[in-house]
């Protein structure tokens, strides 16, 4: 079953990356792209897509305001499936889970995009068989969703120490000493200028929640970096970048296409 879709995101690189991932499915027809909430409303009413991939954080009319605007315009019975794109942390994301609203975390992961597409496809099929509206009752959930996200975005204390396992030892290290963390086959490695160990956290999101978000940055889906330990920004293939870190190996870490804009903002590139 082929489905039609719109992509709305104020970051061009994020739109390009998501479009590329959707094209690889071979079953999603992207009808149009928009860069802000006003365009999103117009595109949805014009194209009536099956699914909209909608950025939460956009200037002016954000993703939630787009949904409210459509409801105000009497589009409740014609709402497409909404899949929010967000950089919210894992706790705020739980608000999406409990409200049965699908989401994608930035930077995008191909397997997670495919999963979201299949969920939307299944909902569309079920709605078609029952003759019901193809959308979830979003108007009943948006206010609750916003309240939960606001609660989870409240400032949280961040521990000054992180526990690492190195060989048979459990080491306490200061956050400021962490150069970067990476995940490979479900194992999270944490590197400082002098030592390397493993975290007991199950995901990078879980580790990130323990760290200071003003210092640590998810430069790539497989890497968290301490911006104070970036030694050099290295221009790379097709306007991409790598980060050379301050650890002993001077590790080079890729910056995902979706995070290139954030890199330029951080260092005024």
Would you write out the chain's pLDDT as a tens digit for each of its 269 residues? 789 999 999 889 899 999 999 999 999 999 999 999 999 999 999 999 999 999 988 877 788 788 888 888 887 777 888 898 887 655 456 556 545 567 888 888 899 999 999 988 988 888 776 555 554 444 445 555 555 555 544 455 555 788 899 888 889 999 999 999 999 988 999 999 999 999 988 889 889 988 988 889 999 999 999 999 999 999 887 778 999 999 999 999 999 988 988 888 888 77
Which pLDDT belongs to residue 117? 93
The domain segmentation of the chain, as residue ranges, is 3-152, 161-267
Which pLDDT belongs to residue 35? 93
Q: Which long-range contacts (CB under 8 A, 24 or more apart) does 148-157 make?
A: 148/92, 148/94, 148/95, 148/98, 148/99, 149/88, 149/92, 149/95, 152/88, 152/89, 152/91, 152/92, 152/94, 152/95, 153/88, 153/92, 156/209
Which pLDDT belongs to residue 137? 44
Task: Tell the burial category of 77 from Cβ atoms under 10 Å away from its Cβ (0-12, 13-18, 19+).
Answer: exposed
Which pLDDT belongs to residue 144? 56
Which pLDDT belongs to residue 193? 93
Task: Tell the burial category of 265 from Cβ atoms under 10 Å away from its Cβ (0-12, 13-18, 19+).
Answer: exposed
Cα 94 to Cα 45, 46, 54, 111, 257: the distances in Å are: 29, 32, 18, 19, 26
User: Which tokens in the block code for residue 39?
Assistant: 């365009």
Which pLDDT belongs to residue 252? 96
Which pLDDT belongs to residue 65? 81
Which pLDDT belongs to residue 94? 58
**Beta-carbon contacts of residue 135 (< 8 Å; ≥ 6 apart):** 76, 78, 79, 80, 81, 82, 127
Beta-bridged to residue 191, according to DSSP, are 180, 196
In this structure, whether the domain defined by 3-152 belongs to CATH 1.10.3720.10 is answered with no
| Threshold 0.95, pTM exceeds | no
- Top-level class of domain 161-267: mainly beta
What is the distance between the terminal CA atoms of the chain, rounded to a whole angstrom? 44
Residue 160 φ/ψ, nearest 5 degrees: -75, -15
On the question of a common fold for 3-152 and 161-267, the answer reads no
């Amino acid at each position: 079953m082929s489905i039609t879709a719109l992509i709305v995101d104020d970051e061009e690189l994020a739109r390009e990356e998501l479009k590329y991932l959707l094209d690889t499915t071979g079953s999603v027809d992207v009808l149009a792209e928009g860069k802000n909430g006003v365009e999103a409303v117009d595109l949805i009413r014009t194209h009536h897509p099956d699914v909209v991939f909608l950025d939460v954080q956009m200037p002016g009319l954000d993703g939630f305001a787009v949904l409210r605007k459509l409801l105000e315009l009497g589009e409740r019975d014609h709402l497409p499936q909404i899949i929010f794109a967000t950089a919210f942390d894992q706790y705020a994301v739980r608000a999406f889970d409990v409200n049965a609203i699908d989401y994608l975390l930035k930077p995008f992961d191909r397997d997670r995009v495919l999963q979201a597409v299949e969920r939307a496809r299944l909902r569309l099929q079920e709605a078609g068989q029952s003759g019901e509206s193809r959308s979830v009752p979003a108007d009943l959930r948006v206010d609750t969703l916003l309240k939960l996200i606001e609660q989870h975005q409240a400032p949280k204390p961040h521990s000054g120490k992180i526990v690492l396992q190195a060989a048979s030892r459990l080491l306490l290290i200061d956050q400021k000493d962490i150069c970067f963390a990476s995940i490979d086959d479900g194992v999270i490695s944490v590197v400082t200028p002098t030592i390397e160990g493993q975290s007991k956290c199950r995901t990078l999101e879980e580790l990130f929640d323990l760290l200071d978000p003003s210092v640590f940055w998810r430069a790539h889906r497989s890497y968290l970096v301490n911006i104070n330990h970036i030694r050099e920004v290295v221009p790379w293939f097709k306007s991409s970048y790598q980060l050379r870190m301050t650890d002993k190996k001077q590790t080079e870490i890729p910056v995902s296409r979706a995070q290139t804009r954030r890199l330029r903002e951080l260092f005024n590139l």
